[in-house]
């Protein structure tokens, strides 16, 4: 969802495009480096899109699919069909395993010749990596987390190298990761969740093994190399996850392990639903909306007004401009109005000094509730306050009656 708008149609178009691209590019292995879903309880519609897509890929020339869980995913939900999917050469790793060697997969071609070793490392949760020690500080916790991640990768890499040696030493090794590398680039308001509460736990890439021919990373939305290394990459999210990503070119990483050195090409992902983030004064906003209207845009819009003039009916004016078009207004932020609200709160003012009515009034303004809705909301608010006061009075009377009864007994 994006401000109440379902993105299912967008995702369906992307997955259809991806399956077609896999066929056209003759892709042998697809790796999804975490965050299959946006939260741990995805809708039935989202799950249907996922499984339908896997069926489409399995029916193509793609021989193997590797799926590891991200921090948004439920390991239990992803792992549930694990054994069934394995029969279709779809390998799912929902959480760190007791034996790191279980995360090392040997993929074989149509003639059953080993062609790739994959260290399928999912998002490593706090409980997978360390034991809590009484009295430990946040710095201790972060140090243990980073050391735990490095130790886990070292164990997985050792197992992969042993298997590589047993196969003749020429089979390439690819690893996955769902983590935040030190220096990773993020986008403002992109919704990237902190992986570990109370800790940045940014992993220095030098602390990970260097035996991987390619390291496929997930978690950050911005497509990027790590430390300028072309074989250590975040593919990024396939769709813009916020309006701030509207102008960001999304892409897939197409990795050719047969070339020396390993070659990585970026395949641009089409934008299936245009997003437009407009910030400025009234003149700039109106001019940009005019340009989009002339171009017959179907964009979803977020508009941030930061002009000097106070426009009391900003929402109404914007809706009037957008209503005749195919565009949809998803969010309006009146920066000037917000500044007035913040300015009204002095540094010394506390909630204790405000009445309930003052707090509610400021909430209406801060959340940009349209003026025409205020009366109805005030009426509902006062009804709730009255009901709460009546309940409190009844509770006090009941307590008094009970005390009296107990005393008389």
Q: Domain end: 202, 236, 268, which one? A: 268
16 and 131 both lie in a single domain: yes
pLDDT of residue 217: 96
Instruction: Give the separation between CA 185 and CA 284, rounded to whole angstroms.
Output: 29
194 and 334 both lie in a single domain: no
Could you tell me what percent of the chain has a pLDDT over 90? 62
Instruction: Give the separation between CA 283 and CA 146, rounded to whole angstroms.
Output: 50
DSSP state of 330: E
366 within a domain of the structure (yes/no) = yes
Pairing verdict, β 251-256 and 263-268: antiparallel
Q: What are the tens digits of pLDDT across the range 52-66?
A: 999 999 999 999 999
393 within a domain of the structure (yes/no) = no
The answer to whether residues 257 and 283 touch, using CB atoms and an 8 Å cutoff, is: no
Between 35 and 201, residue with greater pLDDT: 35
292 and 201 both lie in a single domain: no
Paired tokens of 289: 């909306």
79 and 212 both lie in a single domain: yes
Q: What is the mean pLDDT of residues 241-250?
A: 92
1 within a domain of the structure (yes/no) = no
61 within a domain of the structure (yes/no) = yes
84 and 180 both lie in a single domain: yes
- Give the best-scoring range by mean pLDDT among 134-148, 156-170, 362-376: 156-170
369 and 226 both lie in a single domain: no
Q: What are the tens digits of pLDDT across the range 170-212?
A: 999 999 999 988 877 876 655 565 554 434 457 888 889 999 9
Q: What are the tens digits of pLDDT across the range 299-329?
A: 999 999 998 887 878 999 999 999 999 999 9
389 within a domain of the structure (yes/no) = no
DSSP state of 136: -
Residue 26's CATH number: 3.60.21.10
Q: Domain end: 233, 268, 303, which one? A: 268
- Containing structural domain, residue 337: 275-383
Instruction: Give the separation between CA 40 and CA 74, rounded to whole angstroms.
Output: 5
- DSSP E strands: which ranges in 47-172? 64-68, 90-93, 104-108, 114-119
How many CB atoms are located within 10 Å of the residue 98 CB? 7
63 within a domain of the structure (yes/no) = yes
8 Cβ contact partners less than 8 Å away, ≥ 6 residues apart? 45, 46, 49
pTM: 0.79
DSSP state of 386: H
402 within a domain of the structure (yes/no) = no
- Residues 301-317 as b or e (16 or more Cβ within 10 Å = b): bbbbbebeeebeebbee
159 and 195 both lie in a single domain: yes
252 and 295 both lie in a single domain: no
62 and 133 both lie in a single domain: yes
Could you tell me the strand order of the sheet in which 300-305 lies? 275-280, 300-305, 328-334
262 and 321 both lie in a single domain: no
pLDDT of residue 200: 45
396 within a domain of the structure (yes/no) = no
Residue 304's CATH number: 3.30.160.720
- Counting the structural domains of the chain, the total is 2
C-alpha of 180 from chain center: 13
Whether pLDDT at 401 is above 70: no
């Amino acid at each position: 969802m994006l401000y109440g708008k379902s993105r299912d149609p967008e995702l369906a178009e992307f997955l259809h495009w991806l399956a077609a691209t896999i066929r056209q590019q003759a892709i042998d292995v697809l790796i999804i480096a975490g965050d299959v879903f946006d939260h741990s309880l995805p809708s039935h519609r989202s799950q249907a899109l996922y499984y339908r897509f896997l069926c489409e890929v399995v029916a193509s020339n793609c021989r193997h699919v590797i799926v590891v869980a991200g921090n948004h995913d439920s390991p239990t939900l992803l792992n549930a069909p694990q054994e069934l999917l394995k029969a279709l050469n779809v390998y799912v790793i929902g959480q760190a395993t007791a034996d790191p060697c279980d995360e090392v997969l040997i993929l074989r071609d149509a003639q059953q010749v080993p062609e790739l070793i994959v260290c399928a490392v999912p998002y490593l949760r706090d409980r997978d990596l360390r034991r809590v020690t009484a009295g430990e500080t946040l710095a201790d916790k972060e140090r243990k987390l980073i050391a735990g991640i490095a130790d886990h990768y070292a164990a997985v890499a050792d197992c992969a190298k042993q298997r590589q040696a047993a196969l003749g030493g020429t089979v390439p090794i690819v690893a996955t990761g769902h983590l935040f590398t030190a220096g990773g680039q993020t986008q403002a308001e992109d919704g990237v969740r902190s992986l570990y509460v109370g800790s940045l736990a940014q992993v220095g890439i030098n602390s990970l093994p260097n035996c991987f021919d390619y390291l496929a990373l997930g978690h950050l939305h911005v497509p990027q190399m790590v430390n300028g290394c072309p074989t250590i990459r975040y593919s990024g999210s396939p769709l813009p996850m916020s309006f701030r990503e509207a102008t960001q070119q999304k892409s897939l990483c197409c990795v050719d392990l047969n070339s020396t050195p390993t070659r990585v090409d970026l395949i641009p992902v089409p934008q299936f639903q245009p997003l437009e983030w407009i910030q400025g004064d009234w003149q700039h906003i109106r001019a940009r909306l005019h340009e989009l209207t002339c171009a017959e845009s179907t964009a979803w819009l977020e508009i941030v007004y930061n002009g000097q003039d106070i426009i009391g009916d900003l929402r109404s004016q914007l809706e009037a401009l957008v209503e005749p078009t195919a565009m949809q207004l998803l969010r309006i932020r009146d920066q000037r109005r917000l500044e007035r609200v913040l300015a009204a709160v002095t540094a010394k003012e506390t909630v204790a000094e405000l009445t309930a009515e003052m707090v509610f009034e400021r909430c209406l303004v801060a959340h940009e509730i349209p003026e025409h809705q205020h009366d109805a909301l005030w009426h509902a608010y006062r009804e709730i306050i009255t009901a709460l006061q009546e309940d409190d009075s009844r509770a006090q009377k009941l307590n008094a009656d009970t005390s009296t009864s107990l005393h008389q007994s």
